[in-house]
Amino acid sequence: MAVTSVDIHVTDEPALAEHARDFAAELKESLPKDFVFGTATSAYQIEGAVREDGRSESIWDRFCAVPGAVFNGDSGEIACDHYHRYPEDIAIIQAMGLRAYRFSIAWPRIIPNGDGVVNERGLDFYDRLVDSLLHVGVQPYVTLFHWDLPQALQDRGGWYSRDTAVVFGDYARVVVDRLGDRVRHWITHNEPWCSSWLGHGYGVHAPGLKDGDAGAVKAAHHILLSHGYAMEAIRAAAPEADAGITIDLYPMFPLHDSEADRGAARRADGQRNRWFLDPVLRGSYPEDMTALLELLPDSAQDDLPRIGAPIDFLGVNYYERQVIRSGPHGEPLQAPKEGPWADNGREIFPDGLRVTVKRLHEDYPIKKLYVTENGIGYHDVIGPDGRIHDSHRTQFLEQHLRAVAAACREDAPVSGYFAWSLMDNFEWSKGYDERERYGLVYVDRSSLERIPKSSGEWYGEVVRSFRS
Ligand code: IFM
């Protein structure tokens, strides 16, 4: 359990530290006492070591090799080399004072063929990771699928095949059997809209299929079904577990307060949000989404009880809102937003997080929510003093935590917040584009040296002060 030590400098910046302490005092007035503050990552974005210890090829390894698929031809081959440097990364988490860390498991490390033979060396890595986290008092929140499907399964149809849903349940069982004595919090999937629509509809994520809504709906259904199988596996292997799914949600604002724009925003919400929320939380697909309903596999109706079985919490990833106007046939079209903007082109709209959480609380029977991701990409640079003064990110975190506090005052059951991301990492089709640095910790792309940013130091001080 060799955990190295790391310096967190916030006390060198008295104004920042004082601001963090004042802000923590403000949060205490609205957030529950046991509110969980953490940070998040995913396997392919940070681990590297793609050919080590029996890991097989994933669909992202394959996709990154396609010319033009990923910015600059980048890949997760080395990423942040977390596979080897995890003791240092855990030391950073510890130094920040965080007591929760969300990471994902790479399926190709555990069952290289997708089903069948289990790779003990893959499990051993996550064993070491979990033990090292617990050793320093950090609770693991484990995601079972954050997009790195074994290529062997893709070769047999991937998420177009119902069998992939079944074997996801087997994979979940293997992982929970091994780690479930120490890991209490489980997330089956991360952002199923991205896996289905970006990967199978638009082809901008792995596996790069451009099959439109037909492909996306089929993939999404099997992903949701696999969530159901995984929940059953978790319940069987670890009855005390706290388990759910993470969905990326976008509040849809009509451009004008007209019937046409309101209707278009409702349809956009149906495709982007309710298409996932309704089956998981109500056991049904949204009835108004008639064109999508026609694309569902024949088995869909029979699968819904399994998909809609109770979960313990919903994970919410929030990044930005969408503004929607109606097209000539009532179709939803994206309308220009107002800003302000981050370097990576995302609009910063903190109240959208409050609106999202409040809406979930009002529309769905949810007992507990975690904000499992929230963050922003900037082109951060090392200053002359060797530090990264990313006050824009500090402000972003402050505004969004304030939105969570406001939602809690409106009785929304938010139990935790995980900043995306612990460190700068591989941002999927955007690769290592400098504008896509999401970390609380800067990662030098050549040396892979980690340098905590001032936002990370500020966040740590907020968390420590909140507890004191
Ligand atoms: O980096 C991603 C993450 O993998 C999923 N949610 C959004 C993040 C930022 O784009």
CA of 114 to the centre of ligand 1 (A): 24
Q: What pLDDT score was predicted for residue 2?
A: 47
Q: What domains can be seen in the chain, in order of their start residue?
A: 14-269+310-467 (3.20.20.80)
Using CB distances shorter than 6 Å, the residues near ligand 1 are 42, 45, 191, 317, 373, 420, 427, 438
- pLDDT, tens digit, 9 for 90 and up, residues 384-440: 999 999 999 999 999 999 999 999 999 999 999 999 999 999 999 999 999 999 999
Q: What pLDDT score was predicted for residue 14?
A: 80
Q: Check residue 274 and report its DSSP letter.
A: I
CA of 179 to the centre of ligand 1 (A): 25
- Give the catalytic positions in this structure: 191, 373
Q: Which two tokens stand for residue 332?
A: 């939803």
Atom of ligand 1 nearest to the CA of 146: 4
State the Cα angle at 363 between 221 and 258, rounded to 5°: 95
Given a contact cutoff of 8 angstroms between Cβ atoms, the answer to whether 222 and 229 are in contact is no
Atom of ligand 1 nearest to the CA of 319: 7
Q: What pLDDT score was predicted for residue 12?
A: 65
Residue nearest to atom 1 of ligand 1 (CA): 427
CA dihedral 452, 457, 458, 462 (to 10 degrees): 130
pTM: 0.97
Low-confidence ranges of the chain (pLDDT < 70): 1-5, 9-12
Given a contact cutoff of 8 angstroms between Cβ atoms, the answer to whether 369 and 316 are in contact is yes
Q: Which two tokens stand for residue 12?
A: 């060198």
Diameter of the chain measured on Cα atoms: 62
Ligand 1 pocket: which of 102, 146, 246, 373 to mutate (most atoms <8 Å of CB)?
373
Pairing outcome for strands 450-452 and 242-248: unpaired
Residue nearest to atom 2 of ligand 1 (CA): 427
Ligand 1 pocket: which of 147, 421, 429, 437 to mutate (most atoms <8 Å of CB)?
421
Give the containing element (helix H, strand E) for 215: helix 212-237
Q: At what angle do helices 212-237 and 162-179 cross, to 10 degrees?
A: 30
| Backbone angle region of 244, left / alpha / beta, with phi > 0 → left and psi within -120 to 50 → alpha | beta
Given a contact cutoff of 8 angstroms between Cβ atoms, the answer to whether 63 and 431 are in contact is no
- Can you tell me which residue has the tokens 């939602």? 407
Q: What pLDDT score was predicted for residue 245?
A: 99
